[in-house]
């Protein structure tokens, strides 16, 4: 390590040693002068106050008696000082009353007028700051866990810079990592299912123009290709002049809730259909009934038939449309009945073949 000679610059010549002594005595930061083995040569009043000890106590204890050696941060910090002649970091020290405090230290090695190695270390008590940082980190961890359990995420869109910020929960919902994310609004919109993109864009743009809130449901495509149903609620934040500056919102994955709702509706419709059939059977007097009349397909049934024509299974169609497989099976039964077809291929040929 190259030793650093004492510098005699313009300030030293102009102000004299008295000015440096006044700065040492009145500095709000603690100052320690030590030798390589850790012995303390001098401690200013601020260092005595930070460490809760007299200068004589500090000098008698030295670094070995002041440092909390269970703190692993001391090793790398001292190694850096030995390697480069400078050191900076935060580590625990022991106050005179036995309390452990977090101290930020900046050290520099130099040579005195006799060529002896010395270290000047500036101390600052950052116990409160470290405690706040630790609590903030724990709060973020608890928030991330709560978001994971509730399948909720949050976002913020800076309109001026077109930059969106997502919480960890939102990255989990979309199955993305921060490195895979385009933080622009258009990058976020590309994650929306294609059929829903324009509706999402119009809803958000209308809320910004009206300085209002919005709630919408839409589908999204995860990074693994799965389709999920999301519900989003957002608010437009304005400045003092009433101009929109940010959009903040929360997003919840409601796929399971949607599937349960679809299943319930499907069961209700199926029960109603069965009740109607039983009523018709009770009123039937003829030995045979004519076949059911052909009826037009609903838009949803036509959409399902088109997906069947593409070779998709009931399970694949259910995932695409974010419904249960049971709902798709019920619709297929209706399609076969309405088209008087005995199988799916015949229904495709009768409806879509005729359309072509």
What CATH number is attached to the domain comprising 17? 3.30.450.20
CA distance 172 to 155: 13
Q: Give CA–CA dist 209/243, Å, rounded.
A: 9
Asked if residue 26 belongs to a domain, the reply is yes
Range of the domain at 172: 141-253
Place of tokens 């694949």: 316
- Rounded average pLDDT over 229-249: 91
Top-confidence range, 10-24, 82-96, 174-188, 269-283: 82-96
- Whether 5 maps to a domain, the answer reads no
Write the CATH number for 299. Answer: 1.10.10.10
Give the CA dihedral 190, 193, 195, 198, nearest 10 degrees: -40
Residue 132 lies in a domain: no
Give the percent of the chain with pLDDT over 90: 38
Top-confidence range, 48-57, 160-169, 246-255, 322-331 = 48-57
| Helix/strand/coil for 325 | helix
- Other C-beta atoms within 10 Å of 28: how many? 7
Question: Residue 232 is encoded by which pair of tokens?
Answer: 């989003």
Residues in a beta bridge with 252: 152, 231
Chain center to CA of 269? 41
3-state secondary structure (DSSP) of residue 137: helix
3-state helix, strand, coil in the chain (%, to 5): 50, 25, 30
Residues 171 and 209 in one domain: yes
Whether residue 23 lies inside any domain: the answer is yes
What pLDDT does 161 receive?
93
Find all residues with CB under 8 Å of 4, minimum gap 6, and list them: 85, 108, 109, 110, 111
Q: Given a cut of 80, is residue 177 above it in pLDDT?
A: yes
Q: Which residue has the higher pLDDT, 274 or 221?
A: 221
Q: Residue 136 domain-assigned?
A: no
Q: Determine, yes or no, domain membership for 134.
A: no
**Model's pTM, two decimal places?**
0.45
Mean pLDDT of the chain: 84
Q: How far is CA 299 from CA 107, 163, 332, in A?
A: 75, 39, 13
Residue 4 forms part of a structural domain: no
**Res 2 pLDDT > 60:** no
Instruction: Give me 121's structure tokens.
Output: 């270390």
Split into its structural domains, the chain has a count of 3
- For residue 48, the tally of other CB atoms under 10 A from its CB is 17
Burial of 8 (0-12, 13-18, 19+ CB in 10 A): exposed
């Amino acid at each position: 390590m190259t030793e650093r000679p004492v510098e005699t610059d313009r300030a030293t010549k102009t102000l004299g040693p008295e000015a440096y002594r006044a700065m040492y005595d009145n500095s709000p930061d603690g100052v320690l002068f030590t030798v390589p083995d850790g012995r303390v040569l001098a401690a200013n009043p601020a260092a005595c106050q930070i460490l809760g000890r007299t200068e004589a106590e500090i000098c008698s204890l030295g670094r070995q008696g002041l440092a909390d050696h269970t703190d692993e941060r001391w090793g790398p910090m001292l190694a850096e000082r030995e390697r480069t002649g400078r050191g900076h970091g935060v580590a625990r020290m022991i106050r005179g009353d036995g309390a452990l405090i977090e101290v930020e230290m900046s050290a520099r090695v130099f040579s005195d007028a006799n060529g002896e190695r010395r270290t000047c270390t500036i101390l600052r008590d950052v116990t409160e700051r470290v405690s706040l940082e630790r609590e903030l980190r724990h709060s973020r961890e608890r928030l991330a866990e709560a978001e994971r359990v509730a399948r909720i995420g949050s976002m913020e869109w800076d309109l001026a810079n077109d930059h969106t910020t997502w919480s960890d929960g939102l990255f989990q919902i979309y199955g993305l990592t921060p490195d895979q994310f385009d933080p622009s609004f258009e990058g976020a919109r590309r994650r929306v299912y294609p059929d829903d993109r324009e509706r999402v864009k119009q809803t958000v743009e209308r809320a910004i123009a009206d300085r209002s809130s919005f709630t919408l449901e839409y589908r999204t495509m995860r990074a693994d290709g799965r389709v999920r149903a999301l519900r989003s609620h957002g608010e437009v934040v304005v400045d003092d002049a009433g101009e929109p500056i940010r959009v903040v919102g929360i997003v919840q994955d409601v796929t399971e809730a949607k599937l349960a709702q679809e299943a319930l509706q499907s069961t209700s419709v199926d029960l109603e259909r069965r009740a109607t059939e039983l009523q018709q059977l009770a009123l039937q007097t003829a030995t045979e009934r004519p076949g059911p009349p052909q009826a037009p397909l609903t838009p949803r049934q036509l959409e399902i038939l088109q997906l069947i024509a593409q070779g998709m299974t009931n399970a694949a169609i259910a995932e695409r449309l974010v419904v249960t497989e049971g709902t798709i099976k019920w619709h297929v039964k209706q399609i076969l009945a309405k088209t008087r077809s005995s199988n799916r291929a015949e229904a495709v040929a009768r409806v879509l073949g005729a359309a072509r």
